[in-house]
Amino acid sequence: MNKANILLIYTGGTIGMITDYDTGALKAFNFEELLEHVPELKLLDHHIQTVSFAHPIDSSDMRPCHYDQMVELIEKNYAYYDGFVILHGSDTMAYTASALSFMLENLTKPVILTGSQLPIGDLRTDAKENLITAIQIAGWQRAGEPVIKEVGLYFEYKLYRGNRCTKINSENFEAFTSPNLPPLIVSGVTLKINQEALRGVFRQGQFSVRKHLNGNVVILRLFPGIQETTVKAILNIENLEGVILETYGTGNASTQSWFIQSLKEAIASGIYVVNVSQCLGGSVMMGRYETSTELKSIGVISGKDLTVEAAVTKMMYLLCCNLPAAVFKRRFETAIRGEMG
């Protein structure tokens, strides 16, 4: 591997936490101390510079304004570094990875998010392997070209496409999965790349960034017996612009007339409604069953095999792009960063 310049961005999360002696709860601690716990970093054949959020946070506190902070750091340093590693709490890491994949347009360098289930100071920590391999992947080049040119999430020996994964376990070291796309890289004795999985990221033009995601969105998860008043209250939220509708199976939902009528009215008022499945694997196929035919005919957008994390952040992103309705729908139903099949 060639010597690469890596910018390591610390945002918070378990990886850098210590136990508060008064409360027993985990809290964020100083970044410099975190680095002291990994003397191995000095052995890596890369130049590593570090920068930390002024106030590191638990990722449950992560908001689009924090995405802006990360994007700004990458934008400002883009020309000077070969790759970026972001240390982040695992709870909302899949949302951030998805959001960044959309916000960093025409990205041609690796941006790898990682974190850990146990703090880096813990004897049994998973943090060291995650951090060290994430840095190696961010610095990995072949013939002067980065091997990874997109936003990835590295956890427990696997690099996933950032907008394809989801947190599935709060306890196991294997906390993430990518239900509809195999890992981009699997780390064993060697790092094994899946060339096939690397396809599908659309690039056209120079690297640029889009900030200030539109937060006027909501996730509406259906369940048998959901009340009309509940659905109507959600669809009538002031300033609402986008709804991620979590349906059953291949995108099926109740055929009750109040339900279809409420969605129809929302769409007529200019709200975008996207259909994603509550199933982890597989894709929405509107029209396959009668229970999704009407959704299709009233203009519900197919979220295909998007994760909820990718759907909500793609919605926030596309809402910022000022697109005519037909283009918005087409763009949503087409992979722009390899986020859907």
The answer to whether 135 and 41 are in contact (CB under 8 A) is yes
Least separation in angstroms between CB 113 and ligand ASP: 11
Interface with ligand ASP (CB under 6 A), residue from 58, 82, 156, 246: 58
Q: Is 326 exposed, middle or buried (0-12, 13-18, 19+ CB in 10 A)?
A: exposed
Under rule CB under 6 A, residue 172 binds ligand ASP: no
**Using CB atoms, what's the residue nearest to ligand ASP?**
89
- For 69, the enclosing helix (H) or strand (E) is helix 64-77
Under rule CB under 6 A, residue 101 binds ligand ASP: no
Q: Which is nearer to ligand ASP, 96 or 307 (CB)?
A: 96
CA distance 32 to 160: 28
Interface with ligand ASP (CB under 6 A), residue from 82, 91, 129, 305: 91
CA distance 307 to 207: 25
Residue by residue, DSSP assigns 1-53 as ----EEEEEEEESGGGEEE-TTT--EEE--HHHHHHT-GGGGGSSSEEEEEEE
What does each C-alpha distance from 83 to 9, 75, 206, 332 come to in angstroms? 11, 12, 17, 28
Interface with ligand ASP (CB under 6 A), residue from 49, 60, 256, 297: 60
Least separation in angstroms between CB 25 and ligand ASP: 10
User: Judged by CB under 6 A, how many residues of this single chain contact ligand ASP?
Assistant: 11
Under rule CB under 6 A, residue 89 binds ligand ASP: yes
Helix (H, G, I), strand (E, B) or coil at 58: coil
User: Can you read off the two tokens belonging to residue 310?
Assistant: 């990718």
Query: In sequence order, which ranges of 184-239 are alpha helices (DSSP H)?
Result: 228-235
Least separation in angstroms between CB 89 and ligand ASP: 2
**How open is the CA angle 324-300-265, to the nearest 5 degrees?**
85
Candidates 12-20, 206-214, 239-247, 292-300: pick the segment binding ligand ASP (CB under 6 A): 12-20
Q: Where are the beta strands (DSSP E) in 46-173?
A: 47-57, 83-87, 104-105, 111-114, 141-142, 145-146, 151-155, 158-161, 166-167
Under rule CB under 6 A, residue 64 binds ligand ASP: no
Candidates 57-65, 177-185, 251-259, 315-323: pick the segment binding ligand ASP (CB under 6 A): 57-65
Least separation in angstroms between CB 309 and ligand ASP: 13
Q: CB count, 10 Å around CB of 257?
A: 10
Least separation in angstroms between CB 182 and ligand ASP: 23
Look up 114 and say whether it is catalytic: no
Least separation in angstroms between CB 115 and ligand ASP: 5
Amino acid letter for position 225: G
Under rule CB under 6 A, residue 129 binds ligand ASP: no
The residue from 11, 14, 92, 114 that is catalytic is 14
Q: Which is nearer to ligand ASP, 90 or 292 (CB)?
A: 90
Q: CB count, 10 Å around CB of 165?
A: 29
Under rule CB under 6 A, residue 275 binds ligand ASP: no
Q: CB count, 10 Å around CB of 232?
A: 15
Under rule CB under 6 A, residue 59 binds ligand ASP: yes
Least separation in angstroms between CB 13 and ligand ASP: 3
Binding map of ligand ASP across residues 13-32, x = CB under 6 A, - = no contact: xx------------------
Catalytic residues: 14
Interface residues toward ligand ASP, by CB under 6 A: 12-14, 58-60, 89-91, 115, 117
